[in-house]
Chain A
Amino acid sequence: MNNVIHARSVDKAYGNKKVLSGLDLDIASGTVIGLLGRNGAGKTTLLKSVLGLIRVDKGTLMTMGENAWELSARGKSRIGYVPQGYRPYPWLQAGQLVEHTASFYPRWNAELVERLLREWTIDKAARVGSLSEGEAQKLAIILALGHEPDLLVFDEPVASLDPVSRRDFLRMILETVAERPCTVFFSTHITSDLERVADTVAVLKSGAIDFCGGLDELKDMVKRIRVRASGVIPQDFGGVGILSRRVQGNDGVFTVRGYSDSLRPLLERNVGGTIEVEDLNLEEIFLEMTR
Chain B
Amino acid sequence: MEINVNLYFQISPTSGVPIYRQLFDQVKICIAMGKFTEGQFLPSIRDVAKSLEINPMTVSKAYSLLEKSGHLEFVRGQGMRVPASPQVSHGVVSPEDELAPLLREVVNRAQQMSLERERVIEKFNEFWKGDGHE
Residues of A whose CB lies within 8 Å of any CB of B are 32, 167, 170-171, 174-175, 177-178, 191-192, 195-199, 215-216, 219-220, 226, 228, 251, 274, 276, 278-284
Contacts and interface: CB of A to CB of B under 8 A. Distances in A.
Interface string B7-51: 000000111111111000000000000000000000000100110
B112 interface: yes
B89 to A, nearest CB: 25
B61 A174 contact: no
A190 B31 CA distance: 34
Given A175-B50, A178-B46, A199-B58, 5 more contacts: A192-B13, A192-B14, A199-B57, A216-B20, A281-B15
B134 interface: no
Interface residues of B, number: 24
10 contacts: A174-B49, A174-B55, A174-B56, A175-B50, A198-B55, A219-B17, A219-B18, A274-B111, A276-B105, A278-B16
A226 B13 CA distance: 23
A8 to B, nearest CB: 26
B21 A32 contact: no
Interface of B: 13-21, 46, 49-50, 53-58, 61, 105, 108-109, 111-112
A280 B15 CA distance: 7
Contacts of B49: 174, 178
Contacts of B53: 167, 170-171, 174, 196
Chain A at the B interface: mostly helix, strand, loop or mixed?
Answer: helix
Nearest to B17: A279
Nearest to B49: A174
Contact of A276 (B15, B18, B21, B108): B108
A187 B14 CA distance: 18
A228 B111 CA distance: 10
Contacts of A220: 18
B79 to A, nearest CB: 16
Contacts of B111: 228, 274
Given A174-B50, A276-B105, A276-B108, A197 B55 contact: yes
A165 B131 CA distance: 40
Of all A-B residue pairs in the complex, the 6 with the closest CB atoms, nearest first, are A279-B16, A195-B13, A216-B18, A199-B57, A219-B18, A281-B16
Contacts of A283: 14
A38 B126 CA distance: 45
Contacts of A175: 50
B19 A216 contact: yes
B54 A197 contact: yes
Nearest to A173: B55
Contacts of A278: 16
Nearest to B16: A279
Given A174-B49, A196-B55, A198-B55, A228 B13 contact: no
B54 A178 contact: no
